[in-house]
């Protein structure tokens, strides 16, 4: 893979992971009405999504790519 393309693909993947994490955190509010098991499942999914997002951010940081917060 071309070195200049790799960060672009990684940035796109990071942005998708960031959107997914935000969506999963939003699902926690919706699950609140369904009970504790639904809440726990939503919290677990959100935690995994956040971990995935943070992993991509770390890879980008290693490549020297700085993203705006």
pLDDT at 6: 66
pLDDT of amino acid 1 = 46
Position of tokens 């942005």? 15
Among residues 63, 50, 43, 64, the alpha carbon closest in space to that of 19 is found at 50
Q: What is the pLDDT of residues 13-54, one digit of tens each?
A: 999 999 999 999 999 988 989 999 999 999 999 999 999 999
Confidence class of residue 2 from pLDDT cuts 50, 70 and 90?
Answer: very low
Q: What was the pLDDT predicted at 68?
A: 67
What is the pTM (predicted TM-score) of this model? 0.77
Q: What is the pLDDT, as a whole number, of residue 62?
A: 87
């Amino acid at each position: 893979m071309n070195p200049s393309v790799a960060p672009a693909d990684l940035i796109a993947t990071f942005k998708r992971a960031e959107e997914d994490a935000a969506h999963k955190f939003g699902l926690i509010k919706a699950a609140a009405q369904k009970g504790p098991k639904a809440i726990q499942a939503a919290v677990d999914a959100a935690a995994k999504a956040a971990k995935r997002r943070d992993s991509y951010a770390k890879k980008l940081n290693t490549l020297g790519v700085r993203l705006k917060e």
